[in-house]
């Protein structure tokens, strides 16, 4: 286990919470709050498709019951993910992973990992209860988790460079990409399209409704696309012993920085296409099945879904790739995560918007958007 810790990054925000046996310095919340986020996404999709759940969502008791169902689903997902984690860690790969465990040791680790995730769920509920999470405590923890990791990697880049002056150009390029990404995200997240409602046309009223340009939000489309793109890597782990050549080929092919530029371009194209497709899928699920939505508004909503999906594809897929090429050409690669940055910016904007709304009296122009960030 100590050998594993030498190769494993334990510097994230979640790892700072502490360690527990049998992980030595390794935190029991290593899986993060991801299983709960996945449960929220699954329940949001099921709630749209189920008339019973839509009815339950309209009452306080029904919403409380849905929250309990979501937490129960999070426990199941966390337990399943912990099983996969322990199995993959026992596959003989490089860096060294876990030694072979009997069923009791594996079950103990799985229970610890599941409990660690639910501790974060409790923390997110506490944040929301005291108003610190603004209704998005879980997403806030999920967005902040990679922040310390990014800072640590940046600090490690400077610490491992003997000639500090050699980092001026790549760091300036990285800062330029980061600032451009933040500015573009702020503009698109806050952008709306004003449309007259159907009722206002019949009543000859000037009342309008606003549609978010990013109708799908920033959370679900990239997560769905990442899950699809990462699935071959999971399969490759199981073939590391029986067919190591195939496993190594999958590892090199399922990232945009492999030795074959054509495979890299194909990877980027498939990844971007999946982000756009899932953005359209999320909007279709959220708004296409509702009976309260005027049919005349579906066409512009779907157009905005494609526009928002294209923006996410550029930010999540293209910008990190261009940053990699530019910093590499400048002498040192400084990575940039588009998804984590855009999610954190969108969440900060949502919190600022919630603070502004709490200080206003009366309702303004209604804005139609996704329930999740």
Structure tokens at 210: 């606003």
Please, which pLDDT band fits residue 340 given cuts at 50, 70 and 90?
A: confident
| Neighbouring C-alpha atoms within 13 Å toward the C-beta of 4 | 16
The encoded tokens of residue 72 equal 């129960």
* Nearest to 342, CA basis, from 308, 300, 366: 308
Mean pLDDT of the chain: 78
pLDDT at 23 over 70: no
Q: Residue 47 and residue 42: Cα distance in Å, rounded?
A: 9
Q: What is the CATH number of domain 1-160?
A: 1.10.3370.10
Both tokens of 125, joined, read: 């509920």
Judge whether 370 and 364 are in contact, CB under 8 Å.
no
CATH superfamily ID and name for 162-373 = SecY subunit domain (1.10.3370.10)
Lowest model confidence (mean pLDDT) among 231-235, 236-240, 284-288: 236-240
Q: In what order do the strands lie in the sheet with 208-212?
A: 192-196, 208-212, 367-368
From CA 300, how far away is CA 307, in angstroms rounded? 10
Q: Measured between alpha carbons, how far is residue 177 from residues 182, 246, 325, 345 in Å?
A: 9, 35, 12, 14
Please give the pLDDT value at position 131. 65
- The string of pLDDT tens digits covering residues 240-281 is 767 778 888 888 888 888 888 888 899 999 999 999 999 999
Phi-psi region of 217 (alpha: psi -120 to 50; beta: other; left: phi over 0): left
Among 6-20, 184-198, 301-315, which range has the highest average pLDDT? 301-315
Q: Tell me which of 56-60, 91-95, 233-237, 280-284 is least confident.
A: 91-95
pLDDT > 70: percent of the chain: 76
Which regions of the chain carry the CATH code 1.10.3370.10? Answer: 1-160, 162-373
Q: What is the band of 200 on the pLDDT scale with cuts at 50, 70, 90?
A: very low
Cα–Cα distance measured from residue 196 to residue 51, given in angstroms and rounded to the nearest whole number = 28
Name the DSSP class of 31. T
Sign of CA dihedral 49, 55, 56, 59: positive
Q: Which two tokens stand for residue 181?
A: 């990404």
Give the model confidence (pLDDT) of 89-125 as tens digits.
Answer: 766 654 545 667 777 888 888 888 898 889 888 888 8
Query: What are the beta bridge partners of residue 211?
Result: 193, 368
pLDDT of residue 360: 61
Task: Provide the percentage of residues in the chain whose pLDDT is more than 90.
Answer: 18
Look up residue 26 and give its two tokens: 């390794």
């Amino acid at each position: 286990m100590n050998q594993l810790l030498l190769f494993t990054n334990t510097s994230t925000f979640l790892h700072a919470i502490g360690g527990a046996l049998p992980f030595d310095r390794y935190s029991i919340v290593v899986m993060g709050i991801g299983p709960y986020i996945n449960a929220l996404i699954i329940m949001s999709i099921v709630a749209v498709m189920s008339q019973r759940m839509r009815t339950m969502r309209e009452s306080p008791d029904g919403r409380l019951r849905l929250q309990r169902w979501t937490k129960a689903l999070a426990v199941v997902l966390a337990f399943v993910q912990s099983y996969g984690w322990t199995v993959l860690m026992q596959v003989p790969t490089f860096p060294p992973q876990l030694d072979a465990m009997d069923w009791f040791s594996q079950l103990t680790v799985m229970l610890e990992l599941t409990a660690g995730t639910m501790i974060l769920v409790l923390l997110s509920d506490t944040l929301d209860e005291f108003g610190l999470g603004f209704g998005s405590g879980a997403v806030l923890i999920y967005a902040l988790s990679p922040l310390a990791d990014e800072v640590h990697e940046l600090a490690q880049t400077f610490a491992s460079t003997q000639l500090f002056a050699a980092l001026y150009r790549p760091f300036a390029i990285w800062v330029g990409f980061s600032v451009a990404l933040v500015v573009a995200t702020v503009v698109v997240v806050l952008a709306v399209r004003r449309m007259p409602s159907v009722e206002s046309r019949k009543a000859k009223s000037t009342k309008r409704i606003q549609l978010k340009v990013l109708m799908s939000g920033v959370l679900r489309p990239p997560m769905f696309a990442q899950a699809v793109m990462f699935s071959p890597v999971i399969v490759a782990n199981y073939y590391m012993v029986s067919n190591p050549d195939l496993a190594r080929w999958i590892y090199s092919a399922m990232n945009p920085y492999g030795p074959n530029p054509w495979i890299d371009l194909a990877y980027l194209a498939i990844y971007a296409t999946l982000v756009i497709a899932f953005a359209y899928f999320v909007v279709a699920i959220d708004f296409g099945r509702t009976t309260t939505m005027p049919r005349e508004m579906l066409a512009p909503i779907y157009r905005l879904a494609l526009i928002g999906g294209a923006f996410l594809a550029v930010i999540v897929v293209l910008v990190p790739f261009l940053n990699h090429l530019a910093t590499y050409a400048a002498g040192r690669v400084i990575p940039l995560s588009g998804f984590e940055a855009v999610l954190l910016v969108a969440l900060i904007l949502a919190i600022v918007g919630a603070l502004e709304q709490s200080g206003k009296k009366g309702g303004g122009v209604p804005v139609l958007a996704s329930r999740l960030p």
